[in-house]
A and B are shown apart, each in its own frame.
Chain A
Amino acid sequence: AQKITQTQPGMFVQEKEAVTLDCTYDTSDPSYGLFWYKQPSSGEMIFLIYQGSYDQQNATEGRYSLNFQKARKSANLVISASQLGDSAMYFCAMREGPGFQKLVFGTGTRLLVSP
């Protein structure tokens, strides 16, 4: 079974609008971390935001926020006021036990922001 599922291969949004990128995860470990990364066309992986399984509040970082619904095992990324520079691939990832040795990635969502 997939550990991280991103069901949207591609998303379109107009500049200045908000967009939600979906991510569901599967783990039986009570302690885990969820991460979102952005990969622009240049290829690098840029860390955006983190949510811990025990965090009481949804994470926010500037225009990025994470809609964390633990019971539903979802960790959707919300980008407010989209900009042209937000066009990129977005990956959801999880770090779980035992050992937390790796990040498990979803297959990504390609976001295209139009003027």
Chain B
Amino acid sequence: EAQVTQNPRYLITVTGKKLTVTCSQNMNHEYMSWYRQDPGLGLRQIYYSMNVEVTDKGDVPEGYKVSRKEKRNFPLILESPSPNQTSLYFCASSLSTGPRNTQYFGPGTRLTVL
């Protein structure tokens, strides 16, 4: 089954404790992206990757890191999480960029930073 998977689905952590949210897709998509969703703000892009070893900042990259060492994986790293990073996080992928390329989303990771 074609899908985007994220782990963990739920995470409660404390300020400053490094964490990684994994994202994997099995559709051989070139493009992958991370978004965060906050009430009243919709989804905002954190980072994206056009291909292996090619990543760039989105609209809200502060406090996050990413890497793309393999085509299928695009982990999101929070080196020192803070309470304002409490949010619902989505990984998404599409075959490529371009206006016609539909982005498919993972199930989401609900992160709480105490």
Contacts and interface: CB of A to CB of B under 8 A. Distances in A.
Interface of A: 4, 31-33, 35, 37, 43-47, 50, 52-53, 91, 93, 95-97, 99-103, 105-108
Given A45-B108, A105-B43, A100 B101 contact: yes
Interface of B: 31, 33, 35, 40-45, 48, 50, 56, 58-59, 88, 90, 92, 97-108, 110
Contacts of A102: 33, 45, 48, 58-59
Contacts of B99: 31-33, 52-53, 95-97, 100
Given A101-B97, A102-B33, A107-B40, A35 B107 contact: no
Contact of A100 (B45, B97, B107, B110): B97
B73 to A, nearest CB: 19
A103 B105 CA distance: 12
Interface centre among B31, B103, B107 (most CB of A within 10 A): B103
A31 B108 CA distance: 29
22 contacts: A4-B42, A32-B99, A37-B105, A44-B106, A44-B107, A45-B92, A45-B108, A46-B105, A52-B99, A93-B43, A95-B98, A95-B101, A96-B99, A97-B99, A101-B31, A101-B45, A101-B48, A101-B56, A101-B58, A102-B59, A103-B103, A105-B43
B42 A106 contact: yes
Contacts of B107: 43-44
Contacts of A46: 105
B102 A50 contact: yes
B48 A45 contact: no
Nearest to A108: B42
A105 B102 contact: no
Contacts of B90: 45
Contacts of A4: 42
B58 A35 contact: no
Contacts of B44: 105
Interface centre among A50, A93, A102 (most CB of B within 10 A): A102
